[in-house]
């Protein structure tokens, strides 16, 4: 039996991304809802391996290349396994958003192409003003390559009903757990390592992230 989920009409696209900043002397909880700034990242994200919907960074990490290749292969399947693709979209989003080591500017927010178009602008604005604002220090002292790098992830996928734009649609709830490479610059144990990502498929066949939930957010009441 499918699970039934609802989110408020104005904030169903809210997606919660939490980064614990203990190493900076505090714990930061960041709520991110949507974004888009393709103009600023157009020259950064170009496909050197491609599929019909998403591209791969020219400076992608080894893991980003691996999970992207898996997504591309899944999209070529006939018929397409929607559940598998939804899981890989979620994993690709996580692998890029939470990897800082290959970012070129503090505005280079990872994973935006995997978000639904209706939520990109808000997410971009929040990310650059909060989480990604910390990148400027690492970029300035040339240590960004030693910061966060997602090295592996797993996905547990469940088919659900989800209210999107006031309409109940079929969706996939993807519980993603991930790991980072060791870092000499940040304490990776202080950063998020799991989230539940909601993915839907539109009429063009594109799969997009419409929400991300965190256990830490639920426990603290963030995003309610």
Residues paired with 211 in a beta bridge:
198
User: Rounded to whole angstroms, what are the CA distances from 71 to 45, 76, 167, 207?
Assistant: 17, 9, 27, 11
Query: Residue 58 in contact with residue 48, Cβ under 8 Å?
Result: yes
Q: What is the pLDDT at residue 5?
A: 47
pLDDT digits (tens, 9 = 90+) for 33-52: 333 333 334 334 444 457 88
Residue 196 in this model has a pLDDT that exceeds 60: yes
pTM over 0.75: yes
Domain span holding position 203: 3-220
First-last CA distance in the chain: 26
What is the structure's pLDDT at 61?
A: 97
Q: Whats the size of the chain, residue-wise?
A: 224
Retrieve residue 190's tokens: 């202080």
Cα 156 from Cα 177, distance rounded (Å): 9
| Of 191 and 145, more confident | 145
pLDDT of residue 49: 57
Domains identified in the chain, total number: 1
What are the pLDDT digits (tens) for 78-94?
999 999 999 999 999 99
Residue 24 has pLDDT above 50, yes or no: no
Tokens of 17: 């991304």
What does DSSP say about strands 150-164 and 28-32: parallel, antiparallel, or unpaired?
unpaired
């Amino acid at each position: 039996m499918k699970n039934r989920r609802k989110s408020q009409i104005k904030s169903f696209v809210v997606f919660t991304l939490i980064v614990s900043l203990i190493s900076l002397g505090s714990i930061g909880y960041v709520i991110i809802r949507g974004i888009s700034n393709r103009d600023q990242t157009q020259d950064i994200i170009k496909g050197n391996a491609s599929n019909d919907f998403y591209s791969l960074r020219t400076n992608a990490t080894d893991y980003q290349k691996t999970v992207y290749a898996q997504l591309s292969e899944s999209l070529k399947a006939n018929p397409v396994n929607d559940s598998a693709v939804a899981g890989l979209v979620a994993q690709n989003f996580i692998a890029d958003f939470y990897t800082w080591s290959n970012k070129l500017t503090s505005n280079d927010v990872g994973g935006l192409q995997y978000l639904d178009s209706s939520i990109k602008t808000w997410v971009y604005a929040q990310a650059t003003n909060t989480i990604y604002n910390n990148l400027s220090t690492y970029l300035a002292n040339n240590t960004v390559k030693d910061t966060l790098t997602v090295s592996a992830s797993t996905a547990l996928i469940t088919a659900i009903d989800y209210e999107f734009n006031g309409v109940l649609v079929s969706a996939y709830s993807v519980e993603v757990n991930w790991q980072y490479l060791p870092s000499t610059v940040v304490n990776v144990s202080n950063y998020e390592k799991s989230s539940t990502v909601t993915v839907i498929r539109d009429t063009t066949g594109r799969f997009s992230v419409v929400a991300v939930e965190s256990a830490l957010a639920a426990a603290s009441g963030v995003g309610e």
